[in-house]
């Protein structure tokens, strides 16, 4: 407690002395004007200016320059009295200090120091002896500058568990002392030591300490030195150098080595500092299989067989130590179907598409055949009475049965008239005699004229539509138990005139009448 109290008292006294010095200097400095600070390099000449600004009512009697290298050490270096010559007492600057101008003037008694040295740095006081106010003074600080020699270097270390110095940074013979700092992502700390030389320059030695690890190798670290003589700080970028034994990894095994597989490769990857001196392959069981080829850090298996069913070891060595890695290969049976699944799938899909195409083609052909067969029906009752329907009447009225049926615009036209059994339509064009069938209606055959042919062509579409409607009605009558259908037949002696035309051309109406499809009159 006593020691702490004593220290507190000493600090308080010093603080009071500093405050009082500042206040006195401000009071004195109101009329004694000096430069607060002057910078200089060794070997140069410096001017320390001093002037008394307002001497009204005051008598200036003498001027004294005092040098204070350290606190409490004061030496007179130059004295001037108007009645005497300037005097330069013994001091570190004697022979190099003088008043300027010469002879001096009490109003501005400046001095100059030639060939300044680093030891000349300190406090210079310009003090006036006045009457009646007494002494007044102004203080100038001479700061000597020395540009330091800066450098930085890396220390190569081995990976370990204890902190070591990994980098140095030095700032030699600088004045004032340099500021040194480190910039890095590595986890560590720095220590700085300063040393003052005989010429009053300062040398700074800084070291960076850390626990070196393999992953720190190559990391960036920079030493930055700042000094008053530098326009910008000096920066020294470096990279950490941490040496370590190899770190080994085997890659390339995909767990799918089957019998007969060819050209599979294992690669031994190693990181080390310094670089590896050797890479060796071996197996846990002894010698390497005959199908194995070694090329540097690669192990190539030309063809997988039972001998490859082993554990491969890669061993890497450098100056720091030796490391290894291993991989166990499990040889499998070859796949059941090594063929390309994509090709097989493509073939199957192609075959299915081909089958679908063939089936569609067959369906089209069958449908077309059925339609053609329906267009030439000659054996059922409707065909025998009304002809071949749509197919037969496409080009006119039917003119036959079987394969001879079809449109016949140039054949004879048969006209049915129920009211006049002996009179046929178109007598002018009738080249045949009326066909008499007893009490049956008459059918008269005539040779078609151009008008008849044109008329038959124009009626084709309407006839086909009507034929479809009659077909539906006939189907309805058939299932509803209607009466028998009237069927007209010529006599045997007129078969050569009428032929099969009558059967294909006649149509039954709803009122019981039968008409010709070519021209119908009721």
Answer CATH for 245-328 from 1.10.3720.10, 2.60.40.10, 3.40.50.10470, 1.10.1060.10: 2.60.40.10
φ, ψ at 383 (rounded to 5°): -65, -40
With a threshold of 0.75, does the pTM exceed it?
A: no
The DSSP call for residue 403 is G
Rg of the chain taking only CA atoms, in angstroms: 66
- Cα 472 to Cα 481: distance, rounded to the nearest angstrom: 15
134-144 and 202-210 strand pairing: unpaired
3-state secondary structure 51-76: EECCCCCCEEEEEEEEEECCCCCCEE
The domains of the chain are located at 32-144, 149-240, 245-328
Which residues does 260 contact at the CB level (< 8 Å), separation at least 6?
303, 304, 334
pLDDT per residue, tens digit, the chain (522 aa), is: 443 444 334 444 444 444 444 444 444 447 899 999 999 999 999 999 999 988 788 899 999 999 999 888 999 999 999 999 999 999 999 999 999 887 888 888 999 999 999 999 999 999 999 998 889 999 999 999 999 999 999 999 999 999 999 999 999 999 999 999 999 999 999 999 999 998 889 999 999 999 999 999 999 999 999 999 999 999 999 999 999 999 999 999 999 999 999 999 999 999 999 999 999 999 998 889 999 999 999 999 999 999 999 999 999 999 999 999 999 999 999 987 655 556 667 788 988 999 998 999 898 888 888 777 665 444 454 444 444 444 444 444 444 444 444 444 444 444 444 444 444 434 444 444 444 444 444 444 455 555 555 555 555 566 667 666 766 666 655 545 444 444 444 554 554 444 444 445 566 666 666 666 655 444
- Cα 192 to Cα 202: distance, rounded to the nearest angstrom: 13
- Cα 80 to Cα 425: distance, rounded to the nearest angstrom: 170
What topology is assigned to 149-240 in CATH?
Answer: Immunoglobulin-like (2.60.40)
What topology is assigned to 32-144 in CATH?
Answer: Immunoglobulin-like (2.60.40)
């Amino acid at each position: 407690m006593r020691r702490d109290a004593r220290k507190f008292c000493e600090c308080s006294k010093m603080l009071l002395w500093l405050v009082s010095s500042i206040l006195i200097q401000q009071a004195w400095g109101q009329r004694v004007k000096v430069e607060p600070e002057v910078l200089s390099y060794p070997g140069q000449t410096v001017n320390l200016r001093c002037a008394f600004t307002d001497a009204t009512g005051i008598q200036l009697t003498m001027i004294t320059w005092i040098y204070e290298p350290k606190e409490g050490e004061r030496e007179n270096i130059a004295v001037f009295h108007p009645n005497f010559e300037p005097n330069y007492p013994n001091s570190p600057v004697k022979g190099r200090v003088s008043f300027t101008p010469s002879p001096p003037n009490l109003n501005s008694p400046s001095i100059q120091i030639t060939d300044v040295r680093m030891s000349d740095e300190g406090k210079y006081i310009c003090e006036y002896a006045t009457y009646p106010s007494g002494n007044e003074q102004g203080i100038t600080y001479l700061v000597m500058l020395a540009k330091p020699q800066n450098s930085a270097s890396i220390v190569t270390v081995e990976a370990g568990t204890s902190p070591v110095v990994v980098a140095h940074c030095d700032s030699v013979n600088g004045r004032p002392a340099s500021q040194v700092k480190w910039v890095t992502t590595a986890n560590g700390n720095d220590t700085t030591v300063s040393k003052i030389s005989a010429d009053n320059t300062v040398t700074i030695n800084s070291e960076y300490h850390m626990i070196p690890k393999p992953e720190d190798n190559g990391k960036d670290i920079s030493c930055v030195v700042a000094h008053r003589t530098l326009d910008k700080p000096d920066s020294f970028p470096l990279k950490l150098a941490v040496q370590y034994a190899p770190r080994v990894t085997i890659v390339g095994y995909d767990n799918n080595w089957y019998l007969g597989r060819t050209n599979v490769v294992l690669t031994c990857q190693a990181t080390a500092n310094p670089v590896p001196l050797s890479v060796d392959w071996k197996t846990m069981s002894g010698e390497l299989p005959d199908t194995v080829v070694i090329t540097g850090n690669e192990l190539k298996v030309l063809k997988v067989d039972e001998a490859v069913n082993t554990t491969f070891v890669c061993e890497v060595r450098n100056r720091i130590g030796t490391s290894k890695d291993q991989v166990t290969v499990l040889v499998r049976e070859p796949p059941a179907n090594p063929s390309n699944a994509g090709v097989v799938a493509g073939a199957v899909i192609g075959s299915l598409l081909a089958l679908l195409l063939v089936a569609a083609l067959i369906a089209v052909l069958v449908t077309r055949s059925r339609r053609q067969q329906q267009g030439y029906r000659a054996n059922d009752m409707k065909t025998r009475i009304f002809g071949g329907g749509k197919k037969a009447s496409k080009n006119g009225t039917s003119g036959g049965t079987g394969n001879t049926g079809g449109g016949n615009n140039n054949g004879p036209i048969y006209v049915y008239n129920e009211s006049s059994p002996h009179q046929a339509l178109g007598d002018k064009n009738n080249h045949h005699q009326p066909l008499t069938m007893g009490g049956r209606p008459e059918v008269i055959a005539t040779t078609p004229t151009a008008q008849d042919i044109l008329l038959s062509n124009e009626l084709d579409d309407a006839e086909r539509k009507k034929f479809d409607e009659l077909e539906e009605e006939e189907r309805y009558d058939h299932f509803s138990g209607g009466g028998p259908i009237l069927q007209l037949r010529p006599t045997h002696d007129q078969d050569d005139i009428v032929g099969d035309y009558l059967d294909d051309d006649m149509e039954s109406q709803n009122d019981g009448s039968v008409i010709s499809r070519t021209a119908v009159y009721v």
